[in-house]
Amino acid sequence: KSGRIINIISTSVKQPLNGLGVSNTVRAAVANWAKTLANELGKYNITVNNVLPGATNTGRLKEIIIDKAKKLKIEDSKVENQMANQVPLKRIGEPIEVANAVYFLASNKASYISGINLPVDGGRTKSL
């Protein structure tokens, strides 16, 4: 028998986002809790991991882009392009890419992976 716990948090666990102090704090707490659980539940063959999405093409991201564009008085597409250009892969991620990471961690192929934070952000997070 085995089990999997997979949390979807944010890359702010590794690189805090400006203006989101409370959110950054809570997400870091979840990451630490998951690491503790990984240590405690390993003896039961339960893995615990975190997936850290970066900018992902969701309704929420679209709202953020629209809001920022209004504040800056520029086109939505310009804000989206600026965001994409901050990513080494030069694009915004797709939800399926986050889902694929979760699928992998839930599979038997990841049976010896536990206690990690896996960024799914096109390489944007500036940490090791």
pLDDT of residue 31: 97
pLDDT tens profile 109-120: 999 999 999 999
Would you give the end-to-end CA distance of the chain in angstroms?
Answer: 33
Same domain, 22 and 38: yes
Same domain, 16 and 37: yes
Same domain, 45 and 66: no
Span of 15-29, 82-96, 114-128 with lowest mean pLDDT: 15-29
Q: For the chain, what is the domain count? A: 2
* Contacts for 13 with CB less than 8 Å, ≥ 6 apart: 27, 28, 30, 31, 50, 52, 117
- The domain of 113 spans 1-54+94-128
Same domain, 1 and 32: yes
The CATH number that applies at residue 28 is 3.40.50.720
Same domain, 1 and 43: yes
Same domain, 29 and 46: yes
Same domain, 15 and 50: yes
- Find how far residue 24's CA is from the centre of its chain: 12
Same domain, 88 and 98: no
Same domain, 13 and 45: yes
* Confidence tier at 18 by pLDDT (50, 70, 90): confident
* Average pLDDT of the chain, as a whole number: 96
pLDDT of residue 128: 83
pLDDT tens profile 68-115: 999 999 999 999 999 999 999 999 999 999 999 999 999 999 999 999
pLDDT at 19 over 90: no
Same domain, 81 and 111: no
Same domain, 14 and 75: no
